[in-house]
Structures are given as structure tokens and as C-alpha cells.
Chain A
Amino acid sequence: MEITQQDVEKVAQLARLAVTSAEKDTFAKQLSQILTHVDKLNQCDTTGVEPTATVMGQVNVFREDVIRPSLPSGKALANAPECEADGFVVPKILEER
């Protein structure tokens, strides 16, 4: 599979990453090389084979909904890059008209 610099740009945008033009070139080459190796998968016949997402076969694991102690907000906010009162601070999301 050949990955172009445009593909890299698009994927970077989806993944919320920025890429410099030098990185675009390197990533395009490296990802092409890796995906060419991954194309080996097409040599395996998987007609009628169920996909495996997890190996132990659990489906839903339920438990009683009981109140347990949780982190106090001060401790939960201690690692925040920016916080105010009891909340995380982020740049404004909605623009004023």
C-alpha cells in the first residue's frame, strides 16, 4: 500500500497531530513500508472466519451499582494544566456572533 503525503496530512488531522513537511515525507515512506508488510494478511484466507476482538470471550461484565468513595475534586484537579474553582479551564469553544 502506497501512502502519499496527502494521506499523511489527512490522517494527522484525524488524529489531532500536526506534521512538518519533513515529517510528512518520512511518515509517508515509513507507513508505506509498514503497510506493504501488512498486506501479507491478504495471503490468509479468512472466508467465514469470525473476527477476534478479545480472547477470553467475556461479553458484558455487570456489577451492583453501589456508591463507593471516589477521588475528591481537589485531588482530581491536581494534575490539570489549568483549573479554576472546581473545573478544568479550556479555551473558549463557542464563538460570539
Chain B
Amino acid sequence: MSLHKLTLIDLQRKFAAGEVTATEIVRAYSLRISQVEPKVKAFVTQTREAACEQAEALDRKLKGWRKTMPLSGMPLAVKDNICTDGVPTTCSSRMLQNFVPPYDATVISKLRAQDYLLLGKTNLDEFAMGSSTENSAFGPSRNPWNLQCVPGGSSGGSAAAVAAEECVAALGSDTGGSIRQPAAFCGVVGLKPTYGLVSRYGLVAFASSLDQIGPITKNVSDAAFLLGAIAGHDPLDSTSIDRPVPDYLKALQKRDLKRLRVGVPVEFFTEGLDPEVDRTVRSAIEELSHLGAEVKEIRLPRTDAAVAVYYVVATAEASSNLARFDGVKFGFRAKETKDLLDLYIKTRQEGFGPEVKRRIMLGTYVLSAGYYDAYYGKAQAVRTLVCQDFEAAFKEVDVIVTPTTPTPAFKLGEKSEDPLQMYLSDIFTISVNLAGLPAISLPCGFSRAGLPIGLQLIGRAFEEETVLRAAHAYEQSTQWYHQKPILR
């Protein structure tokens, strides 16, 4: 069996047992990348050569006494808004096209300490703002299931790379659905952890109260495995929470879902939901019930308002976070400017793409004198109500199940001219970030056109184990993840 077809856990077992060398792993993936990357365009920067050298060094190190760590020799891809020391981190923006971070994000330090292998940095919507990768300054990535379709976004490159088996697993970041939506569109597993579980140090900030880094993998066990490697308190991120990291893989051992109460929010199954998605997700819910879960209807009345809250809160935070890009300390600087103000304005005008500008403008507007209370203050108050809806629901149920997206992957160009339509496609994922909860997307079937459909499971804060266990039980009884796109 070709090495690129293995899951993370299977590859890890083979490597730990000495059945395969790190060099062989990198060679296999390098070959795979050269075969499919011209079609998929998942990467902004490839680091195959450096990975090859690292692999050779690792093999030499392990020659005498074979003692590996969980991610030793594992070929991963990382979203290009996560800082990697010495490897360009562009955020798919002209602004950071030549930026080479002088330090590693905490998640990268953790992976590096385990001798992981970085195959490259993956494409995203510029500064993680978007749902399709079409906002990348370097061109969109493609959906491996249909190259005319978007892979989703903003972590579209990471999801496409995993689906096309160009890496064994990847890291993404999720501010309003940016891990789960591309995972759903590409037929892979994506997990957004509880806010504060994974350090944000070294993640280029978009909306700091919503951003989380998480795994994108071939199956649920791999997600549990990779989450365990990146989770944990970090003094360098003051919003990271100091609590022990459980053994997430252990949580998967229980296969039935007896006594698990699963809530189905009626607000998610209304007009605008594609009939095929509706049907597929409902049959997935039936399967959960066959596995012993107790399924009941619940209400999340502010689902509709959540999109409005999100586009006020996220853009307000973004307008503040992106103020640092001024052409002075790092990143792009415009040429031929007459004074400092002109330098700022020209740099930002030429360095940012249209969607980033739109969001900075929107965020600046809602924070400006005269509109602050009406927009930002109001949105923060409604955010409280969104959180309260979840609290009330989680008194009755342990897990909430929904479609990840209202439709399967859309065509390239279909929504790029209409920002509001693009924003509304995030309706099922956004409220989870506003409440800081953990949620996973996993495949639950296909549309007639052969596009994957994603199932979302949401849990209480820090109850990743419950979410993973339910997802794993469903996955094992249905085995959708064995289906792979055909890339000729």
C-alpha cells in the first residue's frame, strides 16, 4: 500500500515499529505532491527539500536506539497564517509575501520538539478572511472532489491537501468556521477546539476573541491524536487556559452512544438548507440514534442573529489587529511615498486585497464615534444571548448535531462578487466561535454530484472528548472516510 494512503495513526505505528524510514515517508509524499499539486494548488510554499534533510537526520538519530515521539517523522502541512521560524508565512497576502518569521508559533514548537516533518505552508483566504480561498493573493486552491469547485475556506489549502493526500494531516485555524467548512467541502475531518485550549501565540491575529488553531485530518482518531499534541496551557497566550490535557484517543474506546443526549436545533433545518444536505444529515442523525443516542429537538433562537454579531465583532477586532501592517517594522512597504501618512496609506492600499479592506472598513465603521454603541455594543450584548442559548440547550443535551454548511461546495466564482451571500454561507459554524465551544465536522455522505457533505457536532466548553467520541462512533459505523477523490 502506498504510504500516502495511510492515516496518521497507521503511519505513526509503522514508523515507530521501524517498518518505514522518515526518508521513505518524505519521498512518498514528495512524489504524491508532484503528481497532484498542479491540479489542487493547496500550497503557498513547499518545504519538501528541507523536510527531506530533516528526515535523513532523524533516520540517523534513530539508527542506534529507536525511541520515537508520537509525531516523529509525520509529514504535516500548516496553514500559512501560523508562524514557522525561517519558513515564509504569507497569510496569502501581498502584505506578508516576503515575511519570514523569526520565531515559531507555540503549536509549531510543540510539533518540532517531536521531530515532525513540515511539507509546506497551505493556502488560505487572505488573513483568513473568506470561505473559499478565492481571496488569496496567490490564486485559489481547488476542491479535490471537483476541480471546478472551491475547497472552502479559509483553511481551504489545508483541507484540500489532506483530501488529496498531499500530507498525512494539517493544521488550520477557525474564526467563524474556517476549519470545519473546508473540512466539510473536502470530505475530511476538521476540529475547532474550545477557545483557550490551544495556544494562539504565533497565529497571525484576525479576531482574537474567536480564533483557534485546530487539526484537519483523514479521520476522527487522527484528529484526537493531533489535538493532543498541540493542546495545553501556554504562558505566551494570556487567553490560554491552564488545565490538564486529557488523553483524547482514550475517549474513543467506548463505541456505543448509550445515554448520550443529542440535540437537533430546529433553526438549522429551515429554508436555505439544500435538500440533499437536509436528507443526508437527517439520516446521519438516525444513525446516531441507532448507536444508542437519545435524540431530541432543541432551540437555538439566535442562530440568525449570530451572523450579524459575527460580522460586527470579527471585523471590529480585525480592524484593530491589522492596524499593525503599516510598512514600518515588517512586511510590504509602498515605494515613492512623500511622508509618513502617505507611507501608511499607500502601503495598506497596495498590500491588502479587496475583502481585507472591506472588513477593515466595516470594523472601523462599527467602532467609530457615533456608531460604537449601536453596532459594536449591541453585537456584544447579542453575543451574550447567543452564549445563553447554548447554555440552556446544554442543560438538556450533551452534544448538538447540525449540518456543517447549508450546501455542498460551490463553484469557483459563484459567490465572489457578493460578500453578503458569502458571509451567510457560514451561518451554521459562526455561533460556535461566538460561544467559544468545541465542534467537529466529519463526512456523512455525498451529494448526487459527488460532493462531500459534512456533519457538525458541537459540545460544551472543554468537552472535546464527548464530541470526538460521538463523531468516532458515527464514523466507525458508516466508514465514509474510506472514500477518496479521484485525481487524474
B380 touches A81 (CB 8 A): no
Complex CA gap A90/B338 in Å reads: 11
A51 touches B346 (CB 8 A): no
Q: Is B148 at the interface (CB under 8 A from chain A)? A: no
Q: Is A67 at the interface (CB under 8 A from chain B)? A: no
Q: Is B436 at the interface (CB under 8 A from chain A)? A: yes
A17 touches B380 (CB 8 A): no
Chain B: CB-nearest residue to A26? B354
Q: Is A6 at the interface (CB under 8 A from chain B)? A: no
Chain A: CB-nearest residue to B195? A55
Q: Is A37 at the interface (CB under 8 A from chain B)? A: yes
| Majority-rule SS of B interface residues | helix
Q: With A11-B361, A44-B302 in contact, do A38 and B308 touch (Cβ < 8 Å)?
A: yes
Chain A hits for B358, CB < 8 A: 27, 30-31
A91 touches B328 (CB 8 A): no
Contact with A along B446-474 (1 / 0, CB 8 A): 00000000000000010000000000000
Q: With A17-B357, A55-B436 in contact, do A50 and B419 touch (Cβ < 8 Å)?
A: no
Complex CA gap A58/B332 in Å reads: 35
Q: Which of A14, A30, A37, A81 has the most CB of B within 10 A?
A: A81
Q: Is A2 at the interface (CB under 8 A from chain B)? A: no
Q: Is B394 at the interface (CB under 8 A from chain A)? A: no
Q: Is A85 at the interface (CB under 8 A from chain B)? A: no
| Majority-rule SS of A interface residues | loop
Interface residue ranges of A43-70 to B (CB < 8 Å): 43-44, 46, 49-56, 58, 61, 63
B329 touches A79 (CB 8 A): yes
B333 touches A15 (CB 8 A): no
Q: Which of A8, A38, A71 has the most CB of B within 10 A?
A: A38
A16 touches B102 (CB 8 A): no
A46 touches B385 (CB 8 A): yes
A79 touches B357 (CB 8 A): no
Q: How many whole Å from B353's CB to the nearest CB in chain A?
A: 12
Q: Is A75 at the interface (CB under 8 A from chain B)? A: yes
B377 touches A15 (CB 8 A): no
Complex CA gap A71/B330 in Å reads: 14
Chain A: CB-nearest residue to B376? A51
Chain A hits for B381, CB < 8 A: 44, 46, 49-52
Q: How many whole Å from A67's CB to the nearest CB in chain B?
A: 14
A52 touches B420 (CB 8 A): no
A14 touches B329 (CB 8 A): no
Known: A38-B311, A54-B195. 12 other contacts (CB 8 A): A7-B365, A11-B364, A17-B349, A17-B357, A27-B361, A33-B420, A34-B311, A38-B379, A44-B381, A46-B385, A51-B384, A52-B387
Instruction: Please give me the 6 A-B residue pairs with the lowest Cβ-Cβ distance, nearest first.
Output: A51-B380, A81-B333, A55-B436, A79-B330, A46-B381, A61-B238
